[in-house]
Chain A
């Protein structure tokens, strides 16, 4: 800066006085503060702006020195530089310094100092230019504070936090993002250092953001300003993790905050699974379970009830339980439930059997319970209604009763049969001993038929077993003299019973008079099935040979009546006996399945 006076303008049309005035006005009305300061610091001349900056009227200011109103922390610097100018070491200096405003507050200024020297070099006076920078200082301080605070927050923030700015193509479209900031938590969660990320492209460092659709989310947030948050699952090999993401626009870019919520998520999932399990159990075991208010308004109902009645939960919740279609089918059932609810409301636990109606209008017998729930004050707060399907139990009960009745009936019938056998065996017996033999033989024949029915599939018996059971005991040398030929065949209960007794009668006859009464007779039994339109018949041939010569009986006894007539009577079958002298022949025909 020059230390000389400005050169005289060449324009002669302006008078000296006018120039003088122009300089004075320039000095006075400049937008910066201008002051002439003496070598000791006393104000020699100040313009209006200086007064405004420091708050002192010109007259007051001219009575003091700049040192009087300079902030003590800036005084040494200012005075030191001033001294250097005084000593001739420098001609100018420029500093930022603080003055005390007359009001006591601090004002910041940029101070530019130059000087006018005497011909000998001593400083005649200083020229000081003051610019008020208090506002600028305040803003930059605030900015610095905010920056410091932001960094402090992000240093300690347990959530990951990153800022990325958009990288746009010529068309203006976002093509990538570049990291601007990464906090320590983000470093830890991403296992990358801030250094490694800041300034780098998202596409290069985390390409998975593109494949997972996050890039599109980021773009949308930047373009619309709409914040976005979501929980995202990272199925990593060893430890799958859940992160909660929040994305918000920051300038032409975005900030993303994320935290590891795996523990919470796992707890949630566990809870869900537990509830689901409980629900499954309730749905599976109980036909109907519902929670109601004390007055019977439905609050919640299980899935099974909805399936059962085909109703939607929205249609039922908030309605009285007895309006539920399962209960509203008969006024009596509805009244029963209403009365049970009024007792449960009074605190009584109710239990009764009822019938509820399902979606196909079937009535299902259920065991109903109403359990009141009490609060600390012993007031009923809710009622739990459960209805357990007891169809199985009812069926079992009915079945047992039916079986008992059937058993009773059969026993009585068996006794009647035995009564008949006893009566007719007795009629024909010549001695008590012969009665005993015949009677016990016939009893055992009935018993054997019964055994067979019980031991094989219920109510049916295999014909070859029936024959063996009834005949084998009378064949002297076992199977050598007995031949059975025929397909596997299962007879019905009536057929087994009637034909079993016939076999017994034939076998005892054979052992007394026929093929089994000597050493050489043989018996062959053949059977086959004859199919008919309605039901198949079995045809059995009984052929004795090699026994003593056969003569027709002179009188028909109980045995032969039974052989010839019982199939016809009970089963509509046929019996045909031929008293061939070479051996007895008999043919039987009766329905297989009856």
Chain B
């Protein structure tokens, strides 16, 4: 069962994503509401992919994204800001806009974790 790290500061959305992913047969790690919380959850073998809310109450989730990238763990950004521009090493990362289209998000995550 693929383990998906969920980082989302809004409780309702986090709860919703968690339930939707669990219904799709995935295991949700978290949800974490901050980069610090996420950090504690990222352990070897504990996470296969991640869903990251780009804006965590005023700070970005880029630190978590960078760490995941370094560890070779795939991730998907979720954001309400459809004009968000990703620069540098994060350019080209997958971005899903809110409100989330769950079938597509689940497809993406399945593809990212297919090799597991």
Contact = CB atoms under 8 A, between A and B. Distances in A.
A419 B81 contact: no
A447 to B, nearest CB: 14
Contacts of A421: 12
Scoring A415, A416, A417 by chain B CB atoms within 10 A of each residue's CB, the highest score goes to A416
Interface string A385-422: 00000000000000000000100111111011111110
Given A416-B98, A561-B15, A562-B15, 8 more contacts: A408-B83, A409-B79, A412-B98, A416-B99, A417-B10, A419-B13, A565-B11, A570-B10
Contacts of A416: 10, 13, 16, 80, 98-100
A468 B72 CA distance: 50
Interface residues of B, number: 23
A231 B4 CA distance: 93
B83 A424 contact: no
Contacts of A124: none
A562 B11 contact: yes
A357 to B, nearest CB: 29
B34 to A, nearest CB: 9
A417 B97 contact: no
A423 B11 contact: no
B13 A420 contact: yes
B14 A569 contact: yes
Contact of A412 (B11, B20, B80): B80
Given A408-B81, A569-B31, A420 B55 contact: no
A587 interface: no
Contacts, number: 73
Contacts of A418: 99
B9 interface: yes
A566 interface: yes
Interface in A513-550: none
A566 B33 CA distance: 11
Nearest to A569: B11
A494 interface: yes
B32 to A, nearest CB: 9
B98 A566 contact: no
B70 interface: no
A417 B81 contact: no
Interface residues of A, number: 26
Contacts of B20: 423
A135 B81 CA distance: 116
A498 interface: yes
- Taking chain A's interface residues, is the majority helix, strand, or loop, or is none over half, making it mixed? helix
B82 interface: yes
B19 interface: yes
Contact of A419 (B16, B55, B79, B83): B16
Contacts of B98: 412-413, 415-416
Nearest to A417: B12
Contact of A494 (B12, B19, B57, B79): B57
Contact of B99 (A412, A494, A566, A570): A412
A424 B99 contact: no
Given A419-B99, A494-B57, A570-B9, A412 B81 contact: yes
11 contacts: A413-B10, A416-B13, A416-B98, A416-B99, A419-B100, A423-B16, A424-B19, A562-B12, A565-B15, A566-B11, A570-B57
A558 B16 CA distance: 10
Nearest to B80: A412
Contacts of A561: 15
Contacts of B9: 569-570
A569 B6 CA distance: 12
B12 A408 contact: no
Given A419-B16, A569-B11, A570-B11, A412 B83 contact: no
Contacts of B14: 569
Interface in B22-57: 31, 33, 55, 57
Contacts of B55: 409
Given A412-B97, A423-B16, A569-B31, A498 B81 contact: no
Contacts of B97: 412
Nearest to A446: B12
A570 B56 CA distance: 10
Contact of B16 (A408, A409, A424, A501): A424
Interface string B86-116: 0000000000011110000000000000000
Contacts of A501: 12
Scoring A415, A423, A501, A570 by chain B CB atoms within 10 A of each residue's CB, the highest score goes to A570
A567 to B, nearest CB: 8
A409 B13 CA distance: 14
Given A408-B80, A412-B97, A417 B15 contact: no
A418 B98 CA distance: 11
B11 A498 contact: yes
Interface string A275-298: 000000000000000000000000
Contacts of A494: 57
Nearest to A565: B11
Given A412-B97, A413-B98, A570-B9, A420 B82 contact: no
A417 B80 CA distance: 11
B82 A413 contact: no
Contacts of B57: 494, 570
Contacts of A569: 9, 11, 14, 31, 33
